[in-house]
Amino acid sequence: MNALTAELIGTALLILFGNGVVANVVLARTKGADSGWIVISAGWGIGVFIGAFCAADFSGAHLNPAVTVAMVIASKLTMSEAIGYILAQFLGAILGAALVYCFYREHFKATDNADAKLACFCTSPAIRNLPQAFFCEVVGTFALILPIFLMAVPSLIQGAEPVESDPRLGLGALGLLPVGMLVFGIGLSLGGTTGYAINPARDLGPRLVHALLPMKEKRDSDWSYAWVPVVGPLVGGALAAGVYLIIMG
């Protein structure tokens, strides 16, 4: 399996489990209805672990354009490689969102709450203050990517030189579990303001699916907010890469 296929499959699995747990909690008449934020946070953490575990040996398991952009800034990936990664991530996110809809189709039909339906695809702020939401997405993504970089490169801490154009984060299978726990922790601690997109593909790809689906009693896809979970994570990832380069000397 090549790297781009791995990114597509890994991101699709991430969205299937991540948006799937949201659908299980917020849609009507599911077995998990109203089970709460901790279930959603846990589901996303597990989804990240599963998607990353499947893709890691082939692509380094970015599954997130913010991670890919940070890797470019840190000189671990070329721009031409990054474009392919990001396209694969968006396609994977679209595929995963479509699968969630097909899986929970009867429950979408049984749900009258249009906001709940939208939440199964993309994020929205709990309090609609876009500059504050942007700040939260920047900080949340920074808190994701800087720890990933520091967990992924123990050899660099010992003074080794960074590897140019290497798409692999070097976490290994065991190291992916802390990444899943990190996402779980971000959801618990920092997710209450915006729903912690912290991943442009995770939000924009499924938002497009929501906009295109012929779903009954559907609201608009909130395009006036859509830039926040795209630009915010990219800025947060870039800042994390910059701090990483500074502290690594």
The per-residue pLDDT for range 38-59, each reduced to its tens digit, is 999 999 999 999 999 999 889 9
- Residues 217-234 have a mean pLDDT of 97
Question: Given the structure tokens 């608009």, which residue do they identify?
Answer: 220
Q: CATH classification of 3-247 is 1.20.1080.10, yes or no?
A: yes
Task: Kindly state the DSSP code that residue 160 receives in the 8-state scheme.
Answer: P
User: Whole-angstrom distance between the N-terminal and C-terminal Cα of the chain?
Assistant: 35
- Residues 1-29 have a mean pLDDT of 97
The per-residue pLDDT for range 179-218, each reduced to its tens digit, is 999 999 999 999 999 999 999 999 999 999 999 999 988 9
Distance separating alpha carbons of residues 32 and 30, to the nearest angstrom: 5
Rounded to the nearest integer, the mean pLDDT of the chain is 91
pLDDT at 248: 86
Which are the contacts of 158, defined by CB distance < 8 A and separation ≥ 6?
none
DSSP string, 81-93: HHHHHHHHHHHHH
Quote the pTM value.
0.92
Torsional class of 135: left (φ above 0), alpha (ψ -120 to 50), beta (otherwise):
alpha
Query: Over pLDDT 90: what percentage of the chain?
Result: 83
